[in-house]
Amino acid sequence: MNTLRLTPGPVDRLIFEDSLRTAMAAVGSFLIARLFGMPEAYWATISAVIVAQSTLGAAATISWQRLAGTVLGAGTGALLATFFHNNLWVFGLGVFVLGLVCAWLRLGPAYRFSGVTLAVIMLIPRNHAAWIIALHRLIEVAIGIAVGLALSGLWPKASPKILEQEEVR
């Protein structure tokens, strides 16, 4: 019988730096979103964490996908929630249509972000107009992306290959 054994692993420089960069992006994006008066600043933090954990090239790709998906989901959510509020069947239809639109625009990976944004706008009851919620989400996500990209650019993630070369020296 196999048993699961959890044993601590080493924390090398790569893990340390990645954890520190991610923490800085998370806290920084939250503070900036609050500075801009965003009511749900944690969405900036979520975006920053996703972006900061990638290399700069991958961060640019995931950032584009996240931003495109957020724009599509926020626009669709603002439109559908304005006329249909939090109708589950209209939400489902919206998710379906977003999948087709993302495929048509060749934004495949953006589909998951568009669906999440649509869900946040349509399925969480709020006291504000849907377009205000959509705009806030877009701003919060954009702040997180910007902070994550800035940290990825200013403090690039070292590749394992570079670290191997340093160990040889």
For 119-133, give one letter per residue: b (16+ CB within 10 A) or e.
ebbbeeeeeeebbeb
According to the model, what pLDDT value does residue 166 have?
Answer: 47
Confidence (pLDDT) at 80: 97
The pLDDT of residue 159: 58
For tokens 């993302």, name the residue.
Answer: 102
Q: What is the pLDDT of residue 79?
A: 97
Please give the structure tokens belonging to residue 75. 């626009």
Residue ranges of domains in the chain: 40-154
Please give the pLDDT value at position 76.
97
pTM of the model: 0.81
Of 29, 20, 21, nearest in space to 47 by CA = 29
pLDDT at 14: 81
- Segments in the chain below pLDDT 50: 163, 166, 169
